[in-house]
Amino acid sequence: MRSAKLKFEKRRSRIRHKISKTSHSVRLSIFKSGRHIYAQIIDDSKSITIAAASTLDEKIKKLKKSHCNIENAIKVGEEIAKKADSAGIQDVVFDRGGYKYHGVVKALADAAREKIKF
């Protein structure tokens, strides 16, 4: 029987493979740690990160002691949307990174969706 971590890694790689195979645009990638949440806009064709935001940013870090929560995920989503807009990006593909589309991931995506088209 596989451990939960191996299942997660397999799910993550399957999702990323589908995105890279079918999409030729940039992707919005999400990563959650135990304390923080990170979002990056990545251009896979050029292998560069165009924009990034996380709960480690000074604006967001000052808000709460617990950083990986829905309130801060909304702030990270708004921040990544601002950075994408200033970089001239309107369309992205959402890469949930193996996480369920629920809670923090959903809050970040909904906040970013106000300025970026998924």
% of the chain beyond a pLDDT of 70? 94
**Number of domains present in the structure of the chain:** 1
Q: Which two tokens stand for residue 101?
A: 């589309």
The CATH number of whichever domain residue 79 belongs to comes to 3.30.420.100
Per-residue confidence (pLDDT) for residue 116, from 0 to 100: 92
Q: Which amino acid appears at position 92 of this protein?
A: V
Average pLDDT over residues 19-40: 87
What pLDDT digit, counting tens, does each position of 38-82 carry? 999 999 888 899 999 999 998 888 776 677 789 999 999 999 999
User: Is pLDDT above 80 for 24?
Assistant: no
> Which residue segment(s) compose the domain that 16 sits in?
4-112
Q: Which two tokens stand for residue 104?
A: 């923090």
pTM to 2 decimals?
0.84
| Mean pLDDT lowest among 20-24, 73-77, 83-87 | 20-24
Per-residue confidence (pLDDT) for residue 37, from 0 to 100: 94
Residue 117 belongs to a domain: no
Name every residue whose Cβ is closer than 8 Å to that of residue 78 and which is 6 or more positions away in sequence. 111, 112, 114
